[in-house]
């Protein structure tokens, strides 16, 4: 254990040095833009293949971690030599800034996952490692040249073998997302899709659309934001939306399982080998969420349109009407709106990341005026497939005669909810107010809306007209309401039946 602790301390030091480097280089000013080409009118440059420095490796399902065959723009024989499949889709994977100058372990994982989902596809990995291991602002400025390289490559493939644009999907991580955007902007025809995996924030947050990933760069641009903590332009991931659909898992700021304590535990147990993942846990989570969508299709995560993280946390955004919800990752519905659509969801801390979302809506009655803040409650949900007990939630406010709405999630599928239990915990601090202040709310009804099934179900106290939720008291039990099983769907069904019989009668008479 002494060894482990020593290693832990060393690594902690490395983590801090790393973070310090990151933040100092992030705050440095951008280098002057010496790579500007968007102001020239000529498109001749795209035919000039002599100055391409990036390399394009066609990886295989058998050897996802090694570059065995490069497709070289200007050398058409390399397309054949690498066994490029001209009939199937092509994924072009673009890495980001690197400290080590080597491919990080996620590259192999993403390549494998893409082949697992699309075995006949071509997965090409762009190697711009040399330009990506410079001082951050230098590498950030290089995204323009690398984007140009990728545009030339894609353009040449199209000229050479008539490869269709709609079969090209660019996937870029961090700085690589902006490379993909610039490439998409410069190609003669629009590529089908760009997926931005936590696009880099520093020097890009306030940059124009020509320099960053933007909705104009492909027919469809989807973006995952997973590490946007901190003030704008200092957060590792870009905070503003840059695609058609921008998804902010867990609010987009920071991901579950990525806190320092967990990090230290992981270092002690797995050592240096996963260093890159540990340090950039939240940033890299964007990639693992996408991988999850490729390999765990039966556990598809859903995201919901919402204005903000805080509104989402109130549970009020779980609607699927008019494209308000969408699938995260590979199977996303390609909904294009004029303005970016911001979407939110919660996830687990490990793969598969899917959770089930529930909005709980409840009205608190009381005769006397009660006014509480920050109250700990626990809710247990019992469903047709399973149950989840003691989901903790801190009620921001609990006032007399007000309705509250909040979000709960379960990592297991409990099916249709049949019963709900709720308990109001008393914080351990003794309070004089408990002596004179009554602290019981009356609840007549509770409504639960499930995001994943869109079912809205009403619950009533099991025995009486009211349930009495007492601070520090027993748990109260609610069961699916019988007379009020008229969730909207059933109401509609009922109406349909009535009309149906009416028309049937009429038809019979005819
Ligand atoms: C681009 O075209 C415009 C109008 O066609 C012309 O005025 C301008 O000089 C051109 N710029 C360059 C750099 O060739
Ligand atoms: C809450 O509403 C009930 C019924 O409308 C009423 O009797 C009660 O006085 C109200 N309580 C407060 C604190 O206003
Ligand atoms: C509840 O109490 C807080 C201070 O404890 C006060 O600011 C707020 O106005 C009160 N709300 C109601 C509805 O009485």
Strand, helix or coil at 246? strand
Kindly report the length of the chain.
510
Closest ligand to the CA of 396: 3
**Exposure class string for 359-391: b at 16+ Cβ within 10 A, else e:** bbbbebebeeebebeebebebbbbbeeebbeeb
Name, in order, each residue with C-beta under 8 angstroms of 63's C-beta and a sequence gap of 6 or more.
Answer: none
Distance CA 96, CA 127 (A): 10
* Ligand 2 neighbourhood includes 367 CB (under 6 angstroms): yes
- Active-site residue flag, 413: no
Which of 206, 211, 200 shows the shortest CA–CA distance to 172?
200
Within 103-221, where are the H helices?
105-117, 129-132, 136-161, 175-186
Angstrom CA distances, 376 to 381, 390, 393, 466, stand at 17, 11, 6, 21
The finding on whether 399 has its CB within 6 A of some atom of ligand 3 is: yes
Quick check: 424 and 377 in contact, CB under 8 A? yes
| CA angle centred on 296, ends 295 and 300, rounded to 5° | 130
217 annotated to bind ligand:
yes
How much distance in Å is there from the Cα of 33 to the middle of ligand 1?
A: 20
How many Å lie between the centroid of ligand 1 and the Cα of residue 187?
Answer: 20
The ligand minimizing its distance to the Cα of 373 is: 3
Determine the 3-state secondary structure of 216 from DSSP: helix
Residue 10 CB partners (closer than 8 Å, separation 6+): none
484 carries an active-site annotation: no
Q: What is the largest CA-CA distance in the chain?
A: 91
Q: Name the stretches of the chain with pLDDT < 70.
A: 1-42, 262-264, 266-267, 270-279, 428-438, 483-510
Alpha carbons 129 and 338: distance in angstroms, whole number: 35
Pick the catalytic residue: 54, 112, 174, 439? 174
Please classify residue 494 by burial: count the beta carbons closer than 10 Å to its beta carbon, then call 0-12 exposed, 13-18 middle and 19+ buried. exposed
Which is it for the CA torsion 363, 368, 373, 374, positive or negative? negative
10 Å Cβ neighbour count for 165? 15
Helix H or strand E encompassing 392: strand 387-399
Residue 85: left if φ>0, alpha if ψ -120 to 50, beta else—which one?
Answer: beta
Q: What are phi and psi of 305, to 5 degrees?
A: -65, 135
Give residue 397 CA to ligand 2 midpoint distance, Å. 17
Cα(40) to centroid(ligand 1), Å: 7
Q: Does ligand 2 come within 6 angstroms of the Cβ of 365? A: yes
């Amino acid at each position: 254990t002494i060894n482990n602790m020593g290693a832990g301390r060393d690594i902690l030091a490395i983590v801090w040095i790393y973070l310090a480097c990151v933040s100092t280089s992030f705050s440095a000013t951008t280098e002057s833009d010496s790579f500007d080409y968007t102001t020239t009118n000529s498109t001749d440059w795209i035919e000039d293949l002599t100055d391409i420095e990036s390399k394009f490796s066609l990886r295989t399902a058998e050897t996802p971690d090694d570059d065995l065959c490069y497709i070289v723009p200007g050398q058409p024989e390399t397309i054949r030599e690498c066994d490029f499949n001209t009939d199937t889709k092509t994924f072009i994977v673009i890495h980001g800034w690197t400290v080590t100058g080597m491919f990080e372990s996620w590259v192999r994982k993403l390549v494998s996952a893409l082949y697992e989902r699309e075995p006949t596809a071509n997965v090409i990995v762009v190697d711009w490692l040399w330009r990506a291991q410079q001082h951050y602002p230098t590498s950030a400025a290089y995204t323009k040249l690398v984007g140009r390289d990728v545009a030339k490559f894609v353009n040449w493939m199209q000229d050479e073998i008539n490869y269709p644009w709609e079969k090209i999907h660019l996937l870029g991580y961090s700085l690589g997302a902006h490379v993909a955007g610039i490439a998409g902007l410069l190609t003669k025809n629009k590529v089908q899709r760009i997926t931005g995996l936590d696009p880099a924030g520093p020097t890009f947050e306030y940059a124009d659309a020509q320099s960053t990933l933007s909705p104009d760069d492909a027919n469809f641009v989807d973006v995952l934001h997973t590490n946007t903590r901190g003030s704008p332009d200092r957060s590792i991931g870009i905070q503003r939306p840059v695609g058609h659909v921008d998804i902010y898992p867990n609010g987009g700021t920071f991901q579950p399982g990525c806190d320092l304590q967990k990090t230290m535990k992981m270092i002690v147990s797995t050592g240096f080998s996963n260093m890159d993942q540990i340090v950039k846990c939240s940033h890299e989570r964007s990639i693992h969420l996408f991988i999850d969508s490729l390999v765990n299709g039966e556990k598809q995560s859903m995201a919901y349109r919402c204005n903000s993280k805080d509104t989402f946390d109130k549970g009020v955004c779980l609607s699927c009407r008019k494209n308000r919800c969408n699938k995260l990752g590979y199977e996303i519905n390609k909904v294009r709106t004029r303005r970016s659509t911001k979407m939110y969801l919660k996830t687990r801390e490990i793969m598969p990341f899917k959770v089930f979302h529930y909005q709980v809506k409840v009205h608190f009655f009381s005769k006397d005026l009660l006014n509480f803040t920050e109250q700990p409650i626990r809710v247990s949900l019992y469903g047709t497939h399973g149950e989840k007990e003691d989901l903790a939630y801190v009620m921001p406010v609990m006032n007399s005669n007000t309705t509250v709405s909040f979000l709960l999630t379960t990592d297991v599928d409990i099916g249709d909810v049949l019963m709900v239990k709720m308990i109001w915990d008393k914080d351990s601090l003794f309070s004089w107010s408990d002596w004179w202040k009554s602290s019981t709310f009356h609840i007549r009804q509770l409504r639960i809306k499930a995001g994943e099934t869109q079912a809205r179900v009403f619950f009533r106290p099991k025995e009486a007209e009211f349930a009495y939720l007492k601070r520090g008291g027993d748990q109260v039990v609610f069961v699916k309401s019988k007379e009020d099983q008229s969730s909207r769907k059933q109401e509609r069904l009922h109406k349909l039946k009535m009309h149906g019989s009416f028309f049937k009668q009429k038809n019979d008479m005819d």
